[in-house]
Structure 1
Amino acid sequence: MVTQDDLLLLLEQRTEINGRFANFRRLSNGGAGNFSVLVSADDSRTNDRVAVKVCLPQSDRYRVECFEREAHLLEVLTGQSDIIQLIAPRSTFTEMLATQGGLQLPWEFHYYAVELAHGDVGDVIASGNWLPERMLLAFRTLCRAVQRIHSQRIAHRDLKPSNILVMPNGQVKLSDFGTARRIDSVTPALVGAYTAPPGDRRYCAPEMLGCLHDENPEIAFTSDFFSLGAILFEMFSGTMLGLRLFNPQFWADIAQAMLAIRIGQRRTTYDQVVSSIANSRPLPSVSAFGAPVPPSIRDRVNDLYRSLSSIDYRVRLCDFDRIFQKINICLLILRNERAYQRWIEQKRTRRAAALLRTSGVRS
């Protein structure tokens, strides 16, 4: 069995892969989930450092399919400027490894390469380095990326700050399509029936926690909007919305209750209780946890994230035009406020200079 540490060590000691990638270095997170590892490498074709994702050979079928689906979707999304770009499509290399009995056997490893990021929005939130205008611009880019994939019938299903990469030039790009799904008549679900949401439950809409996507896969599109709101909340408040609204017992209870209901009846049952769930869990203000939020946009940011992250999916904001309009109004307010402050400072400077000149003439 090859562990993540084994694979990372193997890559660091390996001279090259298929004559193209070399000089492997583990990235700060050391891996890319529990079924693959992520390393940086020199790319002889582009002369850039890139990120190479390698799948563990003994991963279960679900994880292998996640890896393969991500590689395929990245090919589909080639040329989308707000989405991490594929540098090299899925391929393989072989390594001779010894068994516990000392027998040398060939192991096949699947990999692909993408652009190398500088960090992710999760890092930025933790550092507190971005000003409100920068956060809104990044959020607008994220919304545009989600709009792009939705237009191609792709639901991401795992939107969260760590899956929004920050490139060396400061641009943000959407990444990690391992649990994404193209929802059409020909793309099957990765598993026959889910007992948990496909993505990170801390950013997951309650209807996904209740596995309603088993009955109606298209509900994953609506769930992506909930995750967008949760990300916006975290960008301004510094805390995870999901952990403020729900706890592990709620996650377990709603999954257990909905899984006990036959597919075909879940949505009807869920719709009967979702209002009470929403009423018992009011969405907090972005300023409730001590983070400084400009008063001029606080109410508008609250309105936007609450509209996106409405617990009741039936009234959730799922209109990108309206989302962009709300973001742009916040940006306009901040820029006008900043311009007004500059004008005030310039006026004070001119007045002070005039007073000095007048004082000089009188003396």
Structure 2
Amino acid sequence: MPRNEVSGLGCIILCNLRRHLPHAAGIMDTPTPSSDPFHGLNPADLMAAAAMPTDGGADTLPLTQRDLPTLAEIAAAFPDLEIQDLIGHGGMSAVFRARQPRLDRMVALKVLPKSLAATPGFAERFTREGRVLARLSHPNIVTVHDFGESGGFCFLVMEYVDGVNLRQAMRAGRFTPEQALTIIPVMCEALQYAHSQGVLHRDIKPENILLDAKGRVKIADFGIAKILDENGDGGMMLTQSGAKLGTAPYMAPEQIEKPGSVDHRADIYSLGVVFYEMLTGELPLGRFAAPSEKSAVNGNMDEVVFRALAKDRAMRQQSAGEFKTQIEGIASMPPQMRRSLALRFSSFEYKSKRTLLGWPLLHITSGIDPTTGRKRTARGFFAFGDRAVGVVAFGGYARGLFACGGMAVGVCALGGMSIGLISWGGFALALLLAYGGLSVGFLSAGGLALGWDAVGGFAAGVHAYGGQVYALVSGMGGQVHAPHVMRNLIEAPPLLLWLVRFTNQTGLVASWIWLPMMIPSVLMPWWARRQLEFEAQGGAQRPTAWHERPSRVLWLLPAAILMFLALLWMTIHWVHAGQSGLTAQTFIASAIEIVGCVLAALSLPLWLRLVPMNSFYGVRLPSTFLSDERWYDVNAVFGRHLFGWSLAVIAAGIAGFYQLPRHQDAYSWAAITLKLVAVAASVVSTLVWMHRHPVGRPAIKPHRLIRNIEMILPALVLGYFIKAFICASYSIPHGNEPGVAKGSRWLASRLNTGFAAGDLIAYAHESGQTWLARVVAVEPKGLQLKRGSSPEKFFMPWDKIIGKMLFSYYSPNGPTQP
């Protein structure tokens, strides 16, 4: 595995430890320099953990405080070392931090107290540990520099590891599957090497797996290892006969039942336990769930883990190398494929604590229930799952008051196959109204429609309308087979007439209705999975920034509804306008609105930090690829600015449909310019932010004047567009119109939202000034107007109309009405 991946993982873990374990032992109380790779984490806990007893046998005596040698005694016994302090002590040894002046390096000195050195078996075991470790030379195994006896102490001079052990890292936060898939293959590599040297570890557990400052994985404490001779008869085993060496939850069954017959496959079992714990946060005790039910891994990974945890060692992987190959085979899949498989095989259940009508307010399920072996069923007021039952239900099979899914049954049902009072889908069966490809109901509309009143390409009913019509009473359409053929829709029964109008109005709308319906089905299970992980990590009990909470993804729902309504409004406008009403201005406004929706759809996931590091989507500058945190920070800034501008572009697109002829030419260029300004302003704002937040250095605080200018410039751009094309303020120099005071200020709409008799409008006079008049009548080519109390009317073409006066927001004589 590439070392840079491990190094990045180490940095992430160390940062997490500092964030989550600020009061843990070994954390420095004083600030640390920026060069400190641990951000203040003291590595003392590592060597203390390595010194803890791991053999659990009856021949291990407790080491009391009075048995511990003092620093003075150790310094006198080891004159070639500079003894600094006691790191920790375990059941049979104490570990000191020391410095070798001749080599100018830090080492860990592991010694056996004199009071225990005379105990039968202790000194021999201690020397054996040194010989075992001295035979192992591997970058992922803690190195032994020297061992022997000095001043009455048996000792080991070991590599000093700056870092944390896996247990500390797991307490800081649950590992992601990607992190586990990074660490375990490295451990397999180290164990495979040790096994090839005839060395077993026999106590693989998180406390004995170290992660150093450079992100490297190292296995510590081979102190209870069994050395096999060339004949494999175990003749060099020095522990008591039948002693059970190891830590209970991580021990293979044969370590407990037949400790004398243990071989390298016991280490594979222990490593499988560690792997399962990293993936799920739990130990595989009793009847335990598959990893895919607890974590985002696929079913193939379940098979690998279960095989490593087999009670019969003949069923396990037969070497650490084989274990590594199987894991890397899954890890080498493209990330998108792994995520897809993980979602496919995932299994979880989220149930809200709040209830409504006796049901959980929200119930979300996915996958197989391990207790029944069947698909989980979501039952709640809002229910989401493969099978969902609730007041509002979304799922593969959905049943409720409102149901949406592959098969939907409810009062209002929407789905591939829908059954209900009102149904909409590929096959729609309804008691009242059915709308779909094949629809059957009292009122039926669709490709093939069967009902009392039916409208469709093929329509059959008592009354029918469509292309191919079969009617028992009356029909109208292309080819009609009916006793009475209607010549005009005015002859149609009221329900059939309403159904025809409904179908005409909703034909294009039906193509959009799936968009808002599909989003909750995808969004809510995604949120529930991450919410469960968030709660399992204790996120709900600690202050957390909004962008770290899974609930941020729920902002996609109102944003999607907003875009859906904008596109739906545009579609309805096109339907009402018809072919005769479609102009170049309509196409331009539609294009502006669509571009705004696209910008919003692309920018919001970036702002919500939902887009992981990739090479095709997002801000892809060299500095953004330095770390995940930098990637998310930079793209969140870009996404936030672009999303804000996209809303302005959508609004500008909607305003384009209502532009008066006088403003249309200028609007087209201004709207296109606004799109370019939106993208350019977002890019510039992001680059400025990156300059002010350099990597590895403190943020640069800008001057207040510069910050104010940065806020004013976008406001000026939007203000100009609003003033020119949406609404503007007018000062009235003369009070010639009734109800309009001289010197008053009015807000006028520049949009063509309709004119009625009596409206006060502004128009461009031939003198070049803006004059006011009252509307008398609306004509296709302009307006009939009159001024003041004069009874004379005059015509003003559309290209002279500036806008309609809305209201006066200031009048020297008090409030006035238009």
Per the TM superposition, whether the score is higher than 0.5 is yes
CA distance in 1 between partners of 2:302 and 2:268 (Å): 15
1:176 to partner: Cα distance: 0.7
Contact 1:2 1:58 in 2 (8 A): no
Distance verdict in 2 for CA 1:287–1:359, change over 3 Å: same
1:310 to partner: Cα distance: 0.8
1:192 to partner: Cα distance: 5.2
1:220 to partner: Cα distance: 2.3
1:167 to partner: Cα distance: 1.9
Contact 1:4 1:37 in 2 (8 A): no
Higher relative contact order (CA 8 A, sep 6+): 1
CA distance in 2 between partners of 1:4 and 1:54 (Å): 14
Contact 1:50 1:113 in 2 (8 A): yes
CA distance in 1 between partners of 2:280 and 2:614 (Å): 27
Partner of 2:416: none
CA distance in 2 between partners of 1:152 and 1:11 (Å): 36
SS class of match (2:618): helix
Contact 2:252 2:269 in 1 (8 A): yes
SS class of match (2:673): helix
1:209 to partner: Cα distance: 0.4
Partner of 2:246: 199
Could you tell me which amino acid in structure 1 is paired with residue 617 of structure 2? E
Partner of 1:231: 274
1:14 to partner: Cα distance: 4.8
CA distance in 2 between partners of 1:301 and 1:17 (Å): 52
Whether 2:185 is the aligned partner of 1:128: answer: no
CA distance in 2 between partners of 1:3 and 1:305 (Å): 37
Partner of 1:251: none
Distance verdict in 2 for CA 1:119–1:193, change over 3 Å: same
1:46 to partner: Cα distance: 2.7
Partner of 1:249: none
Tell me which moved more, 156-165 or 121-130.
121-130
Partner of 2:290: 285
Whether 2:169 is the aligned partner of 1:115: answer: no
Partner of 1:270: none
Partner of 1:105: none
Candidates 68, 76, 80, aligned match of 2:138: 80
Distance verdict in 2 for CA 1:332–1:359, change over 3 Å: farther
Tell me which moved more, 17-26 or 353-362.
353-362
Partner of 1:69: 128
Q: Deviations over 1:105-136 (max 9, x none)?
A: xxx11111111122211111111265432322
Distance verdict in 2 for CA 1:125–1:222, change over 3 Å: same
Partner of 1:11: 71
SS class of match (2:332): helix
1:287 to partner: Cα distance: 5.8
CA distance in 2 between partners of 1:50 and 1:129 (Å): 31
- The runs of 5 or more residues in structure 2 that have no matched partner are 1-60, 340-610, 621-634, 650-669, 676-720, 722-818
Distance verdict in 2 for CA 1:16–1:149, change over 3 Å: same
Partner of 2:706: none
Partner of 1:45: 102
- Using the size of structure 1 for normalisation, the TM-score is 0.71
CA distance in 2 between partners of 1:334 and 1:56 (Å): 53
Contact 1:83 1:173 in 2 (8 A): yes
1:141 to partner: Cα distance: 1.1
Alignment of 1:171-182 (within 5 A): 171-182=216-227
Candidates 668, 673, 679, aligned match of 1:360: 673
Distance verdict in 2 for CA 1:358–1:62, change over 3 Å: farther
Contact 2:68 2:113 in 1 (8 A): no
Could you tell me which amino acid in structure 1 is paired with residue 148 of structure 2? R
Q: Deviations over 1:82-124 (max 9, x none)?
A: 111112222322xxxxxxxxxxxxxx11111111122211111
Partner of 2:237: 189
Could you tell me which amino acid in structure 2 is paired with residue 313 of structure 1? R
Distance verdict in 2 for CA 1:65–1:360, change over 3 Å: farther
SS class of match (2:290): coil
Contact 1:283 1:306 in 2 (8 A): no
Partner of 1:345: 617
Q: Deviations over 1:23-61 (max 9, x none)?
A: 33122xx21x31111121122133222111111334343
CA distance in 2 between partners of 1:361 and 1:124 (Å): 49
Distance verdict in 2 for CA 1:24–1:230, change over 3 Å: same
1:340 to partner: Cα distance: 7.9
Larger Rg: 2
Alignment of 1:229-308 (within 5 A): 229-241=272-284, 244-245=285-286, 282-286=287-291, 293-294=295-296, 297-308=297-308
CA distance in 1 between partners of 2:76 and 2:300 (Å): 52
Could you tell me which amino acid in structure 2 is paired with residue 89 of structure 1? F
Q: Deviations over 1:265-324 (max 9, x none)?
A: xxxxxxxxxxxxxxxxx4432366x6xx22xx2433322221111112221122344322
- Using the size of structure 2 for normalisation, the TM-score is 0.33
CA distance in 1 between partners of 2:184 and 2:67 (Å): 35
1:230 to partner: Cα distance: 0.6
CA distance in 2 between partners of 1:116 and 1:129 (Å): 26
1:146 to partner: Cα distance: 0.7
Could you tell me which amino acid in structure 1 is paired with residue 81 of structure 2? F
Partner of 2:187: 142
SS class of match (1:360): helix
CA distance in 2 between partners of 1:303 and 1:25 (Å): 47
Contact 1:16 1:22 in 2 (8 A): no
Contact 1:230 1:309 in 2 (8 A): yes
Distance verdict in 2 for CA 1:361–1:169, change over 3 Å: closer
Alignment of 1:297-336 (within 5 A): 297-333=297-333, 335-336=335-336
Could you tell me which amino acid in structure 2 is paired with residue 210 of structure 1? E
Contact 1:21 1:42 in 2 (8 A): yes
Partner of 1:23: 83
Contact 2:268 2:319 in 1 (8 A): no
Could you tell me which amino acid in structure 2 is paired with residue 317 of structure 1? Q
Tell me which moved more, 347-356 or 49-58.
347-356
Tell me which moved more, 172-181 or 58-67.
58-67
Distance verdict in 2 for CA 1:9–1:75, change over 3 Å: closer
Could you tell me which amino acid in structure 2 is paired with residue 167 of structure 1? D
Could you tell me which amino acid in structure 2 is paired with residue 170 of structure 1? G
CA distance in 1 between partners of 2:131 and 2:268 (Å): 24
User: What is the number of equivalent residue pairs in this alignment?
Assistant: 297
Question: Percent sequence identity over matched residues?
Answer: 22
Distance verdict in 2 for CA 1:360–1:8, change over 3 Å: farther
Contact 2:210 2:219 in 1 (8 A): yes
More helix by share: 1
